[in-house]
Chain A
């Protein structure tokens, strides 16, 4: 479940980053939009790492 949510979060963040980057080309105030694009891409990268991490098999509880 967590992995599925993360996968869609990664896709959403990446698509948002692309849209914001394209938008930044036409906006008057240039700073916030590219920064939001970068932030969105950063969260996308973390989400992808999260997809990998949550897909790892759990360690056995040896206690």
Chain B
């Protein structure tokens, strides 16, 4: 983040407006505003555009770094890359490394193994200043995009800045070398740097426009789509000799217009806005106005930014930015962040930890001669200091060993782990017995027992394995990839089969293929075929998806499925899609239940004449993502989910659709949720039910197979 550039504070008084005291007060105030906006957005989800604080940091960073390099070149005739990078390391690395280490330790104690491993890889990428590419990759990867947020996801912005620091100084040096042949040419070096930066900004902004429209997740994290924001700051630094001529009366007006622009962007921009381009232009140019107004002249009448509180917040803003996100993620994993008391305590923890980190790590190191090449003072630290650090490190190791041995409990033995059915289970079973078969009743008994259990049993497979595992067995999953389906390898059933069932739908349908295969395995007269696909919602409306390749390939897959059904004329067509809110690709708006009904009807009409029965198979109800809620300290009750209003609304719509097509609607609730309390446990018996928020675990698909068969028989479909 831009806070890395406080090295400028040591610069001597310049005409460009950097004050002798060190820091430009307006810039410190901008930092305070930016970090406050980011923290408020992440913690309180307000203001909606709080994330633009990062864009403010980008502009500041581009301005300060470029100004630093230009001044050094003009003063000495060269740029010392060694000193430049050592200053960056000294400024950025100690504090960020402390956060990464603390986050990793916290992740180990709090998260499940799979989430800890994911955090570990995030840390590795962050250490190599490439976190933004990691998060772009994860965010656009279909199988990972719905996963829990990394506790160090905010390191993406540091990575963007680091990458800028790796490229921009060298580019500047190249320009300087080209212009170093004569004194006359040398005078134009600054102009040339500006010209190159204008060109880069235009290219980067154009790229950001295209990428935002086509790959928004990638665009958000991409260095190429963000470079223009740093570039705008760099251009101000290049133009700073001209900006000193600005009339004094104009400066307060410019700075207030800029400040108003930043505040407006906090309110006007939200997660639906096309970002970073063009929406980020507002906070970027607004920040530029504030910086321009203070370049080469003193900032007056700008107390919101220049007051002592803003100055102090600006000082500690890097530390606040680093610490806030992991603390929020850990707090959300352990407590209910909807509770105002928890929110306030989390804020207090952020402030306390950040101040502690700033005064104990960041500030002393910045003021020290570490990495500064000051040989005279090297090795002056007393030997006792080394002993002290060694002893404290040993104490830390002992503490970590004790804490981990107590807090990280091994799984309970199987025999003790399967709780006996609670009284509620019996009552529930009795109530269901009149309408449900024995398999469903057995599931209901186990569901009630799971809901009553205060402890996790020894699950088979383990929750960690399920969470980090696939959504479907490999042979089924291979059929769900985009591209033409191989009918041979995506068909199950004996050669003597006389009846055909076809599955279509999205990834939820893929997870049901395993259950249907289990349900039909003792019925040789049936064969099962799937044309379902991961990330492809089987409605007529095109649905927006973070994975552009999947989204673009989906229509062809639906066409292939419709053509196959019309040719096969199957006995049953099972259609299943997630009931999670979907965004229409063209309308850019969430589909209402009526939209869903119209869109699904339009698709089913294309093949309903060829299928004897169309069966609407409802997805598992859930409002809890097991990947986020399952931690080392969570209890089964923390991860039990309920049936959402959204689920019920879409289920009602599909029930009506089934009637209108003369088909059937299969209600999945009895296989996942208690008939009595409508709560859905994260495991049933010894089997985890979900791999994430919406997808059934492969082993659970096999477990519900008999109950599914029982239901299909009851509905006279088999």
Contacts and interface: CB of A to CB of B under 8 A. Distances in A.
B396 A45 contact: yes
Given A18-B402, A21-B407, A63-B12, A42 B102 contact: yes
B591 interface: no
B432 to A, nearest CB: 34
Given A18-B402, A46-B353, A59-B372, A51 B396 contact: no
A22 B399 CA distance: 11
Contact of B361 (A11, A38, A46): A46
Contact of A59 (B110, B356, B374, B385): B374
Interface in A1-60: 6-7, 10-11, 14-15, 17-18, 21-22, 24-25, 30-31, 34-35, 37-39, 41-60
Given A50-B364, A59-B374, A25 B406 contact: yes
Given A25-B406, A53-B368, A38 B110 contact: yes
Contacts of B105: 38, 41-42, 45
Given A46-B353, A46-B360, A10 B395 contact: yes
A17 B94 CA distance: 24
Interface in B94-132: 94, 98, 101-102, 105-106, 109-110
Contacts of B106: 38, 42
Given A30-B633, A31-B334, A41-B400, A56 B365 contact: yes
Contacts of A34: 109, 406-407, 633
A45 B110 CA distance: 17
A56 B385 CA distance: 10
Contacts of A31: 334-335, 633
Nearest to B13: A63
Where chain A touches its partner, the secondary structure class is helix
Given A42-B102, A56-B369, A11 B353 contact: no
Interface in B453-510: none
Given A11-B395, A44-B396, A57-B381, A49 B94 contact: yes
A48 B393 CA distance: 7
B679 to A, nearest CB: 20
B392 A41 contact: no
Contact of B399 (A35, A44, A58): A44
Nearest to A62: B10
A43 B378 CA distance: 28
A2 to B, nearest CB: 8
A53 B364 contact: yes
Contacts of B377: 57-58, 60
B249 interface: no
B406 A24 contact: yes
A46 B357 contact: yes
Contacts of B349: 39
A57 B396 contact: no
Given A46-B360, A59-B368, A59-B372, A37 B389 contact: no
Nearest to A57: B377
Nearest to A16: B399
Contact of B101 (A11, A45, A50): A45
Interface string B342-354: 0000000100010
Given A38-B106, A39-B349, A18 B399 contact: yes
A30 to B, nearest CB: 7
What 10 A-B pairs are tightest by C-beta distance, nearest first?
Answer: A50-B360, A56-B368, A53-B364, A57-B377, A21-B403, A21-B406, A59-B369, A14-B399, A48-B392, A55-B385
13 contacts: A7-B392, A10-B395, A17-B403, A18-B403, A21-B403, A41-B403, A44-B395, A45-B98, A46-B356, A46-B361, A48-B392, A50-B364, A57-B368
Interface of A: 6-7, 10-11, 14-15, 17-18, 21-22, 24-25, 30-31, 34-35, 37-39, 41-60, 63
